[in-house]
Amino acid sequence: AQKVTQAQTEISVVEKEDVTLDCVYETRDTTYYLFWYKQPPSGELVFLIRRNSFDEQNEISGRYSWNFQKSTSSFNFTITASQVVDSAVYFCALSEGQTGANNLFFGTGTRLTVIP
């Protein structure tokens, strides 16, 4: 069965600090996708990244970077030089397989608060 675990419920950092949000997943599929979404107080889920199971290359996008390690079933997200606007709930999600619903299984989220 699929599962996504975000062990950090809440994190607070001071502005300009770096912060890493952890995500561990479980799946029996060999083909799957991993996602990160940001949910600000407005409620909308903002897409950040999608990574497929065959691409373990780490990715950097501005202040954001992602570390995908199949050996430990982890897909961690790092924000460098955090800003107040980064305050939100961040969700990691898993989508299995190349056929079927491809619905997303979400973790319980990590609430990030960046203190000015």
User: Does 77 interact with another protein (rule: CB under 8 A)?
Assistant: no
Question: Please, which residue, 79 or 89, has the CB nearer to another protein?
Answer: 89
Stretch that binds another protein, among 53-61, 63-71, 76-84, 91-99 (CB under 8 A): 91-99
The only residue of 41, 62, 100, 116 in contact with another protein, by rule CB under 8 A: 100
The only residue of 28, 30, 41, 42 in contact with another protein, by rule CB under 8 A: 42
N-term to C-term CA, the chain: 41
User: Does 20 interact with another protein (rule: CB under 8 A)?
Assistant: no
Distance CA 74, CA 66 (A): 10
Strands 74-79 vs 64-69: parallel, antiparallel or unpaired? antiparallel
The pair of structure tokens assigned to 91 is 């969700």
Give the closest residue to 21 by CA, choosing from 103, 82, 71, 102: 82
User: Does 95 interact with another protein (rule: CB under 8 A)?
Assistant: yes
